[in-house]
Amino acid sequence: MKHHFLLFTLLFSISVFSQKMAPAKFSLTDKRLKELVAESPNVNLEIEIIGSDGETVEYNIPMTVEYYYNTFLRSVYDLRETVLFKNTLANLPKEYREFRDNPGIRQQVSEIYFQKVYGKYQYIDFYNYMKKCMETLRENVDDPGLTVFHREILDYDTKEKGTEANRKQMLSDAEKIYINLTNIKNAEQNQKHAKEGVDDYREIMSGK
């Protein structure tokens, strides 16, 4: 009986260790949708406005369906970064030679990346914001007063005009992503991986 208990303890320890070492995975796996999310931070939705003083100022103005669509995609991008933060920490020793041997450097670099991903927020904040962005997109996507594409505002002579099909495609893509992320199994798995990354960060900061 004692041997069985020791064997069980050993197998459990191996399982926990393997789980700790396994890389984090984001639930969204569709290649095309992943690319849309990955590209979203690079989409410029700013519009230049000339003020009364003659100075040019850039604003993010919600004047298009694309604005709400890309805001949702960016919220998914930020959520993904929290889920994959565990992998970011695991890869730091490859990027910083001193990371493994110098606890001070390890903590400083980890803190920089943690602040970049989380700032003052937690995983649940990013998750709820993603849901809010989806709700806002749904509320505005059919607004006939909204132009579809951002470039239509910047260039009135553009040949590529937004159509109802474009509106439907944006909403369809967003709905597919949203369904994936709010699926109970996926949501729990994503949160679990995000927690593992935060736990690894706290372990580093504790000096262990």
Q: Is residue 17's pLDDT more than 60? A: no
pTM of this prediction exceeds 0.75: yes
Lowest mean pLDDT among 120-124, 158-162, 196-200: 158-162
* Token couple for 206: 């504790």
- Rounded distance between C-alpha atoms, residue 150 and residue 100, angstroms: 46
- Rounded distance between C-alpha atoms, residue 30 and residue 35, angstroms: 9
**What is the model's pLDDT at position 55?**
66
* Angle, CA 38 vertex, CA 33 and CA 40 arms, to 5°: 95
**What is the model's pLDDT at position 156?**
53
Can you name the residues that pair with 46 across neighbouring β-strands? 60
Q: Is residue 83's pLDDT more than 90? A: yes
Burial of 149 (0-12, 13-18, 19+ CB in 10 A): buried
Lowest mean pLDDT among 8-12, 21-25, 87-91, 162-166: 8-12
**What is the model's pLDDT at position 7?**
40
